[in-house]
A and B are shown apart, each in its own frame.
Chain A
Amino acid sequence: MDEFILEMRNITKMFPGVKALDNVNLKVKSGAIHALIGENGAGKSTLMNVLSGIYPYGTYSGEIIYQGNKCIFKNIKDSEKTGIGIIHQELALIPYLSIGENIFLGNERSKHKFINWDETHIKSNELLKKVGLKVDSSTIIKDIGVGMQQLVEIAKALAQNVKLLILDEPTAALNEEDSNNLLKLLLELKEDGITSIIISHKLNEIMKISDAITIIRDGATIETLSKGDKDLSEDRIIKGMVGRELINRFPIHDSNIGEIVFEVKDWNVYDPLIEERKVIDNISMNVRKGEIVGFSGLMGSGRTELAMSIFGRAYGKRISGKIIKDGKEIILKNVRQAIDNGLAYVTEDRKSAGLVLMQDIRSNISLANLKKISLNQFVDEHKEIQVAEEYRKKLNIKSSSIFQNTGNLSGGNQQKVVLSKWIFTDPEVLILDEPTRGIDVGAKYEIYTIINKLADDGKSIIFISSELPEILGICDRVYVMNEGKIVGELSKKDASQESIMKCIMKSHMEVT
């Protein structure tokens, strides 16, 4: 067997006006887990699209040698046939079909053009077992969580006898536990001789499982590091990614904490669809002036549900409890009232719930506070433009102008637009739900700086995140949530990865 299963030589890919890839070289050893990292827009996904035939042969220059043969892929089907499987960031499963049907989609188990359902189910159940899923293959995709769906995608690739598995940010939407399962599975697959290429922003994961790491920056390969290299460290990788040394991943910040500004007492929320299911169970919490309070917990622990139910009952049914601001009880029946009372909520999904992607930066920034720039319901467009320009400068939104559609911005810049929108409403309490998800290291640092600045201006920040280092890096105090309850409250001093996980584990034991 060849030592290298894949060699990509001098790949150059042009888009109208931009060179997305510039003489990229990538060598992947057979049976290895190879990580591909770089900032957003560095060209990782483009490179993988070249490899899998999404950009057909001829639209790029350079050559791909796979298992000793030169590849001429015209489409994905061609690359699949040779055993290359790609799992995209946005999962490509059909929500209303069963797991089994999805696994064999386009590759149906059939006899004389009729589907052989028995074989479909037996084979899919085998594959599910292999990827460590304990559900039946007749379960409908929409009824299982994102973590499980990710595993189904892998099962689907295995069904096609995959030899080289490409995963584009597989753990971005997963919680710690699901992420760990997935990484474990990759290691198991490695034992079976399957090579993986993993694209990820999570350095700790990469350090844990990969045999080699290739860093890409601005469409060019910077270097490839192998496991065992002496100077292989997270800092070294970050330096390679951003082209400079980030001394700190979190800006230094001295917090100036005042009185309690916002308080939630005995908060209960039920699921809007399954009415007897309690999603939030008797939660009480508070946040002080100038304080950044973290909400840590596993995916599905109820953090988003808590935030949205507080934010003008944007989520949930049969909500009970008290919200107290500046010592007085307030009642927030809808989002408008929440905004008028000084609350802001930056959603966890900026594309589907945070931005109007087909509109420009300017209209997105003004959307939640048109009142401020209008007179008798007439929008003053000049004022609006000034406001947008001001925030574009202040938050360093990289764009051709404020008239650029937000759909064309990178993740980090989109998030800055969402933040601008909410800062413009001049809130006292800002709820930030996963504000750095899917954003590269450089932009993350900028977002942290903005958050610190807001706290310094006397705003109270509620910071929801699934990334523990980030919670530890910037929060003054941390609430730990699990299964709709607060299971721990830790001061900055006491908070650590271990203490947070301990809170969660302890609550699990109490339940069972």
Chain B
Amino acid sequence: MYNEESYGGNIMDVIKNLFRKNVRQYAMLIALVVIMVFFQIATKGILLVPMNVTNLILQNGYVFILAIGMTLTILTGGNIDLSVGSLCALVGAVVGTLIITMHMSIVLAIVISLLLAVIIGIWQGFWIAYIRIPSFIVTLAGMLLFRGLTVTMLKGLTLAPFPESFQNISSGFVPDIFNVVGTSINLTAIIVGVIVSILYVVIQLKQRAKKQKSNFEVGSLMFFVIQIIVMVFIINLFFYWLASYKGIPIALVIIGVLIVAYSIFTTRTVPGRYLYAMGGNEKAAKLSGINTNKVLFFAYVNMAVLSAVAGMMFASRINSASPSAGLNFELDAIGACFIGGASAYGGVGTIVGAIVGALVMGVLNNGMSILGVGSDWQMSIKGLVLLTAVAFDVISKMKSKA
């Protein structure tokens, strides 16, 4: 998003100004960095070794994907979806049955699962958007319903293993096609990192130029340059980490595409605007000619499809279809959105925020596991983090009003 305010020359003013405008998002980003530094020191450097960075992404892949979908439903007016965990399990069971039991081709099985998710999305979306039963109730029913169907379908047993090609969704890596010399480091990852940073710089420059051309105030040049340098550094550091292990995970490609696509969708497109408008004031949105039922319906169909993607990714990762898969996934996703700055009343929130929120949770999980903190404590600490993040938001808003 833009910051169109003109900044004074003083760099401290610039930072203060930016900070004040985006306290919440920057606060969470800062919190994420602090948490990472803390665990990096506490784990004596294990947190950010290349293997663990890749692991972090693979472990939390499903949360990222679910958090994207959940952001959309929350935007419509604080509507959450409690059924996503059960739906992940159900899709895992369907895919498992089709591939392992019925030996169906993987592509066909994935297509069928996605179609099933669309139907389930229509089912829930119908009750929520057109009959206007509160989403909490519909998805609570879905949570029970889909879990029950999963257990019935699997007869309470775990199906395993998947063929290797299906496992690749979560454990495969992009082949190192550029590495002709045979170095130990993954050249493809390095090259992709460079391409991504060039794209980033080009897009930033273009936007700035366009803004200047139409006579809009832009931030100070110094700040702009610093921002670009920091981002390029982070992007390349990240891809260097990946390159030092096995390269770019296939799961990361899926997640990356989803993040970019949904960020553009929510901020740049007409339907994306409708999501925010509806969450901000449904009556006004309706009277502005927006079919809010359709918007709400879409958010839930979309959520079901993303749940299916997450469900398949998870099944591939644990290499089985299990009746207890996806337990508490909905809570991770909802928590990520709120930690990332979404409003519980709708109309406020971003995809990037939700991803930052998911990373906060993921790093906490991973760091504590390395330190040998028991899962009982992990849960309690995550609960406190969620409360702290939202309390911080509410209190900072109170202060700005007074």
Q: Interface residues, chain A, CB within 8 Å of chain B? A: 16, 311-312, 314, 334-336, 338-339, 345, 347, 352-359, 363, 366-368, 370-371, 374, 377-379, 381-382, 385-386, 401, 403, 421
Contacts and interface: CB of A to CB of B under 8 A. Distances in A.
Nearest to B217: A401
A367 B268 contact: no
Contact of B273 (A336, A379, A385, A386): A379
Contacts of A358: 280-281, 347-348
B280 A368 contact: no
B270 interface: yes
A382 B214 CA distance: 8
Given A335-B286, A374-B269, A381-B268, 18 more contacts: A16-B402, A311-B287, A335-B287, A335-B290, A336-B289, A336-B290, A338-B289, A353-B284, A353-B287, A356-B285, A358-B280, A363-B273, A367-B288, A368-B288, A370-B270, A370-B273, A371-B270, A378-B268
B396 interface: no
Contacts of A354: 284, 287
A378 B280 contact: no
A356 B291 contact: no
A314 B211 contact: no
Contact of B283 (A353, A367, A370, A377): A353
A470 to B, nearest CB: 23
| Listed residue (B216, B272, B285, B289) with the most chain A CB atoms within 10 angstroms of its CB | B289
B269 A377 contact: yes
B291 A336 contact: yes
B5 interface: yes
Contacts of B210: 382
B288 A421 contact: yes
Contact of B276 (A339, A359, A368, A374): A359
A265 B111 CA distance: 53
Contacts of B211: 382
Contacts of A421: 288
A357 B285 CA distance: 11
Contacts of A356: 276-277, 280-281, 284-285, 347
A377 B281 contact: no
A356 to B, nearest CB: 4
A386 B289 CA distance: 22
B6 to A, nearest CB: 10
A18 B270 CA distance: 38
B212 to A, nearest CB: 11
A96 to B, nearest CB: 18
A314 B270 contact: no
A352 B273 CA distance: 19
B4 interface: yes
B281 A355 contact: yes
Interface in B343-383: 347-348
Contacts of A338: 289
B281 A368 contact: no
A183 to B, nearest CB: 32
B289 A339 contact: yes
Contacts of A366: 273
A283 B380 CA distance: 64
Contacts of B214: 382, 385-386
B280 A314 contact: no
A386 to B, nearest CB: 7
Rank and list the top 5 A-B pairs by shortest CB-CB distance, nearest first. Answer: A356-B280, A368-B288, A336-B289, A353-B283, A356-B281
